[in-house]
Each structure stands twice: as C-alpha cells, then as structure tokens.
C-alpha cells in the first residue's frame, strides 16, 4: 500500500488528509499536494490523455475546482490569438501551444489553475507557466530544463507531478460520502467519431467539425454536471459547469464564448494599457470592458490606473454586430437538450454543429430548432454526467 499525507482536505480545517492506493500512478517531483490539487490533477490527466487518443494531437487542459476552465489541442496560433493570449514574439512548441490555448480561452477562470499535459513538458511550456499564476502541473515526463524552470516557481514550492502514462485504474471505483461507500464501474466509454453518426437534422456534420465536437464531448466527460462546452479551432472557448438547469449551462458557456470572441474585436486589441499594468489586471479590465454595459471601469478617473488614455466605450450595438460574425462553433452537451431554447441561445454564439445524447420527449422540437438555423446535430446516445 502506498500513501501520501496531504496538506489538508477540501478546506484547511479538514485534517488529517491522505491519499492511498495499492499503487499510486504518480510521483511527486516537487512541492506538496493538497486534496483539491490531486482531484484536479487526476481528472485533468484523463481528459488530456483522451484528447490525445481521439485527435492524435498534443493536448492540454487548465483545471480549477475539479472542472476544466479550458482544454485544447496543439494547433498553431494566429497573430490575433498570440496577442490576446499574451504570447506575441514567443516561439511555442505544439504542447506549449496546446496549454496556451487551454489557459487563454478563459484566463480569468484559469487564474491559479492546475495544468495538465498529454505529452512531455518542454522548456517552452515551462517558461510560459513560470510567468502565470498556477498551483501545479501533471505530465508524463519533463525535460531537465523544464523541470529546473518549474522547480524555481513559487519560491520552489510549485507542485510538479509525473504521471505513469501506462497506468490503468481498476474497472470499479469507490467514493465515500457521510459514511456511505458508493461503488460503480468507471466511465471508460471511448469518445470516437462513431458517436457522431446519428445525424437527424437536414444539415450534416463535415469531417473538419467532428474534431471540435469530440473535443467538446471529451471535455464534458470530466466537467461537473450539468455541463455544456463550446469549441472552435481545436480549443474550448466556453464551458458551463455544475448548473442545475441545462439552459443556464448553455447561457453561461455562451457568454464565455462571446467574451472570447469580443477580446478579438479591433477596439479591444488596441486598448491603450499602461506599460506597468500586469496581465491579470489586463484580463480583469478587458472582462469589464466587454461585459459591463454600465462601463463602471471608466467612471471618474478610474481608467487612469489601467490606461494611458481613456478608451472609447464599446457599445451594445458594436458588441452585437461583432458577435454576429462568430461562426462555425461546435457545441457539446453532457446529456439531452430538453427544449429548443438551448439551440436558440447557442445560435447567438455562432454554433453550427451540436452533439448531445438525445432521448428527450421533445427531441423533435430540438431537431426542428436546429433545422430552423441550419445547424447540424448528432445524437450520441451517450450521457456524460460527472460528479
């Protein structure tokens, strides 16, 4: 039996705390883990491993509180993404690009995240991580240079875990709540293109959209339910997790996707930030600038803390016009859509492809709404609840 004593459980008052197993699948290379650190690490590793298997591309995720804030595969970034993710002029390897995308889609939620990589952590990824606020990382291996860089982070306390990529957990898993032990078969179902063959809508799903739908579904497999995920260009751009109503998931994730797109508006790209304003403060300012209709950030002389000159407000009409240009977005749901209102909301954020389990008594209404907007939808017949 292998055992690790933890700093504490979910909260500092929950001590003692430990993890143990016949064989632990990871090694601690640096730092001391907490309970939530390991929940994030083990869930995020499964996510990136499955993304790697499904797409054949290096994959990364940014986890917070046992759900992904972002997930992506290692595709190159264009000039706009380089700018909004603060990596202009930096040479990125494929695995570094995957993590930059995963963290960059929702930088506010990724603040203080746990990073997961499907492939070896290299120096490019470590250098990017070193400058960001992050609690830890899990990867199958590290180059010597990357390990040295990461060990210098957070005054030497940054948590670094090395996972055994060949480890397979037992088929049955257990959890104890209030003195009661729960047992179930592990959710080992594979998310593959075969999940997308049942397409009852008029529009069909092209091959280039299937990758993004698979990314959405695999991300949802490790997101607290109810959950919905918007994906474009190989990365999640909006994740709605842990909501009691599915339409609230769709709205929450859609709003995040809208903000991701609004950050690419020329007026946002050219905001006159002061040189001494740090990245987290820029993230906060941009979030308020694009999301706050009242423009509180610009009241009085507040803007002088952030900007060289007072920026012109981005009007509601400008926002609506820009968001209307977002297109080709893929949307996954971890269970069926009970009403067409989810599709109505998704359409407003450029969704053209949908994957959901199906099985609602109102499937016909959902299909009809998809056809109304020229959206292609696959019924996966797979529910992906995660708790």
Same domain, 161 and 178: no
Last residue of a domain, one of 128, 149, 168: 168
Last residue of a domain, one of 168, 201, 221: 168
Same domain, 197 and 74: no
149: phi then psi, degrees, rounded to nearest 5: -65, -45
Other beta carbons within 10 angstroms of residue 300's beta carbon come to 7
Q: Which residue has the tokens 């749901």?
A: 333
Q: What pLDDT sits at residue 168?
A: 93
Q: Where in the sequence is the domain holding 96, given as residue range(s)?
A: 2-168
**pLDDT by residue (tens digit) across 47-93?**
999 999 999 999 999 999 999 999 999 999 999 999 999 999 999 99
pTM for the whole thing? 0.95
**pLDDT by residue (tens digit) across 228-275?**
999 999 999 999 999 999 999 999 999 999 999 999 999 999 999 999
Last residue of a domain, one of 151, 168, 185: 168
Total structural domains in the chain?
Answer: 3
The answer to whether residue 385 sits within a structural domain is: no
> Residues 323, 265: contact at Cβ < 8 Å?
no
Q: Which residue has the tokens 């740090």?
A: 278
Q: What pLDDT sits at residue 293?
A: 62
pLDDT tier for residue 375 given thresholds of 50, 70 and 90: very high
Same domain, 200 and 157: no
**pLDDT by residue (tens digit) across 131-173?**
999 999 999 999 999 999 999 999 999 999 999 999 999 999 9
Same domain, 80 and 129: yes
Q: How far apart are CA 218 and CA 174, in angstroms?
A: 22
The CATH number of residue 306's host domain is 1.10.287
Same domain, 84 and 216: no
Q: What pLDDT sits at residue 34?
A: 94
pLDDT tier for residue 21 given thresholds of 50, 70 and 90: confident
Query: E strand or H helix at 71, and its extent?
Result: strand 67-73
**pLDDT by residue (tens digit) across 183-195?**
999 999 999 999 9
The answer to whether residue 365 sits within a structural domain is: yes
The answer to whether residue 386 sits within a structural domain is: no
- Residues with catalytic roles: 64-65, 226, 387
Averaged pLDDT score across all residues of the chain = 94
159: phi then psi, degrees, rounded to nearest 5: -80, 125
Q: Token pair for residue 340? A: 């067409």
The CATH number of residue 369's host domain is 3.40.140.20
Question: What count of residues does the chain have?
Answer: 387
The answer to whether residue 83 sits within a structural domain is: yes
Same domain, 131 and 189: no
Same domain, 332 and 288: no
Same domain, 105 and 138: yes
What is the mean predicted confidence (pLDDT) over 277-291? 90
What is the mean predicted confidence (pLDDT) over 330-346? 95
Same domain, 272 and 257: no
Cα–chain center distance at 355: 17
Same domain, 25 and 50: yes
Closest CA to 70 of 41, 94, 102: 102
The answer to whether residue 179 sits within a structural domain is: yes
The yes-or-no verdict on residue 305 having pLDDT over 90 is no
Same domain, 41 and 161: yes
Same domain, 135 and 223: no
């Amino acid at each position: 039996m292998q055992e690790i004593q933890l700093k504490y459980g979910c909260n500092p008052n929950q001590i003692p705390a430990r993890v143990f197993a016949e064989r632990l699948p990871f090694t601690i290379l640096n730092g001391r883990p907490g309970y939530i650190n390991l929940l994030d690490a083990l869930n995020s590793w499964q996510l990136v491993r499955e993304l790697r298997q499904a797409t054949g591309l290096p994959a990364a995720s940014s986890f917070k509180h046992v759900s992904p804030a972002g997930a992506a595969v290692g595709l190159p970034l264009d000039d706009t993404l380089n700018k909004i993710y603060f990596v202009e002029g930096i040479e990125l390897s494929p695995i570094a690009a995957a993590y930059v995308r995963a963290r960059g889609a929702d930088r506010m939620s990724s603040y203080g995240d746990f990073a997961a990589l499907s492939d070896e952590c290299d120096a490019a990824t470590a250098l990017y991580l070193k400058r960001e606020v992050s609690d830890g990382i899990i990867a199958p291996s590290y180059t010597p240079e990357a390990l040295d860089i990461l060990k210098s982070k957070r005054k030497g306390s940054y948590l670094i875990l090395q996972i055994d990529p060949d480890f397979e957990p037992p088929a049955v898993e257990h959890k104890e709540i209030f003195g009661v032990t729960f047992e179930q078969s592990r959710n080992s179902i594979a998310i593959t293109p075969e999940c997308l063959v049942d397409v009852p809508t008029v529009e069909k799903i092209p091959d280039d959209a299937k990758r993004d739908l698979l990314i959405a579904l695999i991300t949802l497999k490790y997101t607290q339910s109810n959950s919905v995920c918007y994906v474009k260009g190989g990365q999640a751009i909006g994740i709605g997790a842990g909501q009691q109503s599915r339409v609230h998931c769709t709205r929450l994730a859609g709003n995040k996707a809208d903000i991701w797109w609004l950050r690419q508006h020329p007026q946002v790209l050219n905001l006159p930030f002061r040189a001494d304003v740090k990245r987290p403060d820029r993230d906060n300012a941009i979030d308020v600038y694009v999301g706050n209709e009242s423009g509180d950030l610009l009241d009085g002389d507040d803007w002088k803390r952030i900007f060289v000159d007072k920026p012109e407000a981005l009007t509601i009409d400008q926002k609506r016009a820009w968001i209307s240009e977002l297109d080709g977005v893929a949307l996954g749901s971890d269970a069926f859509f009970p009403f067409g209102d989810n599709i109505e909301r998704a359409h407003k954020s450029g969704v053209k492809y949908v994957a959901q389990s199906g099985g609602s008594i109102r499937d016909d209404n959902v299909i009809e709404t998809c056809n109304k907007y020229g959206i292609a939808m696959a019924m996966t017949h797979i529910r992906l609840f995660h708790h």
